């Protein structure tokens, strides 16, 4: 029988399987105590991320924001390992689809050790004949006590022919944790539109303001205020082409 190396060994604890921490050129490793802020704009010139995995070591503080612009077909697989105590990871993303785009996010986030925190917020707008999907999975290891893990995916349908698929998941094998997950699929609120129109705002502009407000919590992760304002302006122009 072949002896397994450390990287090949797996320990089964009930239904939990402790897989090896990924290595290689597609892994973004954040060192102990490092603070990392990155924003990625995915469009025709940049249709994907330069990595597929993130490993956060002890005390690392990571904030990744991903924006998908209209007209972009993209699949984003992202695997995150909180591998050191005190690590904190925030993932946020938004997509704007108004034609025949196909956008898919798959996020697998593993809390391997205790005293770590993760937050996920992904908001999507789907119009035209677009197809969007979010599959999120949080795994909390048996020894990862005092974990805090929160996952949210909100979607707004802008047309009857657009389709949204969302599947948030939690797998918890520890008993001292704070975890939640949730997803919504809805449409623009007509009462809000009526309120704005009654105050002289045209219907199209009222819808744009609603959509910008919907995306704002994701854009709040952009630290540079000038860049954040520039992105808001760019999104408003894109939204005018969607409605």
List, as own/partner pairs, every contact residues 20-28 make where C-beta atoms lie below 8 angstroms and the sequence separation is at least 24, other chains included: 21/55, 21/81, 21/83, 21/112, 22/53, 22/55, 22/79, 22/81, 26/51, 26/52, 26/53, 27/51, 27/52, 27/53, 27/54, 27/55, 28/53, 28/54, 28/55
Rounded Cα distance, 95 and 90, in Å: 17
Rounded Cα distance, 105 and 155, in Å: 13
Task: Tell me the sheet residues that pair with 243.
Answer: none
Q: Classify residue 21 by its DSSP letter.
A: P
Residue ranges of E strands in the chain: 11-13, 16-18, 27-30, 35-42, 53-56, 61-68, 74-82, 88-97, 102-111, 117-126, 131-140, 147-157, 163-172, 177-186
Rounded Cα distance, 136 and 118, in Å: 13
Q: Along the 243 residues of the chain, how does pLDDT read in single tens digits?
A: 344 444 444 444 567 788 889 899 999 999 999 999 999 999 988 889 999 999 999 999 999 999 999 999 999 999 999 999 999 999 999 999 999 999 999 999 999 999 999 999 999 999 999 999 999 999 999 999 999 999 999 999 999 999 999 999 999 999 999 999 999 999 999 899 888 989 889 988 999 999 999 999 999 999 899 998 999 888 888 888 777
């Amino acid at each position: 029988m072949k002896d397994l190396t450390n990287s090949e060994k797996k320990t089964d604890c009930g239904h939990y399987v402790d897989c090896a921490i990924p290595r290689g050129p597609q892994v973004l490793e954040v060192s102990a105590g490092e603070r990392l802020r990155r924003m990625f704009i995915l469009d025709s010139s940049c249709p994907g991320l330069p990595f597929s995995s993130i490993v956060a070591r002890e005390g690392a503080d990571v904030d990744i924001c991903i924006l998908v612009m209209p007209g972009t077909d993209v699949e984003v697989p992202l695997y995150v390992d909180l591998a050191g105590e005190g690590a904190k990871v925030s993932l946020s993303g938004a997509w704007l689809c108004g034609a025949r785009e196909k956008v898919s996010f798959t996020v697998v986030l593993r809390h391997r050790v205790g005293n770590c925190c993760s937050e996920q917020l992904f908001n999507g707008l789907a119009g035209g004949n677009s197809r969007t999907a979010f599959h999120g999975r949080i795994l909390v290891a048996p020894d990862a006590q005092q974990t805090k893990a929160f996952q949210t995916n909100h979607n707004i349908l802008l047309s009857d022919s657009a389709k949204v698929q969302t599947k948030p998941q939690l797998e918890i094998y520890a008993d001292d944790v704070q975890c939640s997950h949730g997803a919504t699929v809805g449409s623009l609120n007509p009462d809000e539109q009526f309120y704005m129109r009654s105050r002289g705002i045209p219907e199209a502009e009222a819808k744009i303001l609603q959509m910008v407000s919907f995306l704002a919590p994701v854009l709040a992760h952009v630290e540079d205020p000038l860049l954040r304002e520039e992105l808001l302006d760019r999104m408003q122009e894109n939204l005018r082409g969607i409605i």
